[in-house]
Structure formats: structure tokens, C-alpha cells
């Protein structure tokens, strides 16, 4: 192998490694605020609720943004905690409708829809399940948000987004 070819290969490897380091640092910087927000939500849930183990954190953006922390209490029972800048609200998972029950209700009400996401949230003063789904018909694809009471699964409202 010639010296020139070796230099080109070494330079290429150097460029690829440098690019990898720069991109990974960029990714970490972008994600740090997101991860910090999740970590803070879990710490608040541990401090201000009965939660002792956290499994997952979701973000709900409604009238007031919430971080939804899913986990367990010291007995291993499911707990969901809504954490906002103003408030912390806790519900035992067993005392409300489940995600699967809400999914079944939506699929029964609107056969053939494609559900993208189901998550706890808050609508007005009511703690809810928010269901984001889409329907395809002759006029195109339309997205919807349905809201159901967290406790008993009763229907509250539907928000319809414009056609895409």
C-alpha cells in the first residue's frame, strides 16, 4: 500500500471519528433538558406521593403541561402521578380505567380507527385519558383527540384537527 493511500485512509477514519464525537455531543446536549425534566418529575413523584418505583415518564401538553410518571408504591401496586409546575396529583392505577379499557371503548365506538397514543392528562379540572387517533375517509385523513374521565372512563369531549 502506498504512503499516500495510507494517509487518505487515516484521514478518512479521523474525519469519521470526529464527526461521530461531534454528533454524539450534539445529541447529548439536546437531550439533557428532556432527561433532566424526566428525572426531576420522578424525584417529585417520590417526594410528594406514595410512589417508590418509577417505570416510565410521559409528557402531556394541554392547558397545563404535565409529566406523567408511571410506577408502583411500596406494595407493588400501580400508581400514576401527574406532575406540573403547580401541582402533583396521584391516582392508584387500579382505581381508574386502564389504557386497554379505553382502547377497547374507542375501537368499539369508532371501528377501524388507528390509535396513535393513549395517555393520562388533564382537561380543565378533570383528570383524563387522552386518546389521539386518526380516521381515514373519502375526504382524507383526519386526526382526533378524545377525552375520557380517568376514574370511570366516561366520554367527555372530542377535538377534531383539520384535514391533512
Provide the 8-state DSSP code for 51: -
Provide the 8-state DSSP code for 48: H
pLDDT at residue 3 tops 90: no
pLDDT computed for residue 1 by the predictor:
64
Q: Which residues pair with 54 in a beta bridge?
A: 71
Question: Which domains are seen in the chain, by residue range?
Answer: 3-92 (3.10.450.40), 99-160 (3.10.450.40)
Beta carbons within 8 Å of 80's beta carbon, 6+ residues apart: 68, 69, 70, 90, 91, 93, 96, 120
The answer to whether the beta carbons of residues 54 and 71 sit under 8 Å apart is yes
Which set of grid coordinates corresponds to residue 70? 408511571
pLDDT in tens, 80-136: 999 999 999 999 999 999 999 999 999 999 998 999 999 999 999 999 999 999 988
Average pLDDT rounded to a whole number, residues 38-66: 93
Which regions of the chain does DSSP assign to beta strands (E)? 53-61, 65-72, 78-83, 88-92, 114-123, 126-137, 140-149, 155-160
Q: Residue 164's pLDDT band (boundaries 50, 70, 90)?
A: low
- Comparing C-alpha atoms, which of 108, 124, 120 is closest to residue 132? 120
Name the average pLDDT for the chain.
90
What pTM was estimated for this model as a whole? 0.78
Average pLDDT rounded to a whole number, residues 58-81: 94
- Comparing C-alpha atoms, which of 55, 61, 99, 48 is closest to residue 77? 55
Higher pLDDT, 1 or 5: 5
The answer to whether the beta carbons of residues 89 and 127 sit under 8 Å apart is yes
Amino acid at each position: 500500500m502506498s504512503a499516500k493511500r495510507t494517509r487518505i485512509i487515516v484521514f478518512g477514519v479521523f474525519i469519521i471519528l470526529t464527526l461521530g464525537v461531534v454528533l454524539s455531543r450534539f445529541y447529548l446536549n439536546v437531550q439533557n433538558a428532556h432527561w433532566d425534566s424526566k428525572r426531576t418529575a420522578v424525584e417529585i413523584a417520590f417526594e410528594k406521593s406514595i410512589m417508590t418505583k418509577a417505570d416510565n415518564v410521559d409528557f402531556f401538553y394541554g392547558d397545563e403541561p404535565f409529566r406523567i410518571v408511571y410506577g408502583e408504591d411500596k406494595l407493588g401496586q400501580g400508581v400514576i402521578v401527574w406532575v406540573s409546575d403547580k401541582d402533583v396529583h396521584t391516582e392508584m392505577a387500579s382505581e381508574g380505567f386502564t389504557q386497554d379499557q379505553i382502547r377497547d371503548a374507542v375501537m368499539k365506538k369508532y371501528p377501524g380507527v388507528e390509535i396513535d397514543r393513549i395517555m393520562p392528562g388533564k382537561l380543565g379540572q378533570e383528570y383524563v385519558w387522552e386518546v389521539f387517533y386518526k380516521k381515514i375517509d373519502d375526504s382524507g385523513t383526519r386526526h382526533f383527540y378524545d377525552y375520557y374521565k380517568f376514574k370511570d372512563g366516561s366520554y367527555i369531549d372530542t377535538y377534531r384537527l383539520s384535514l391533512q
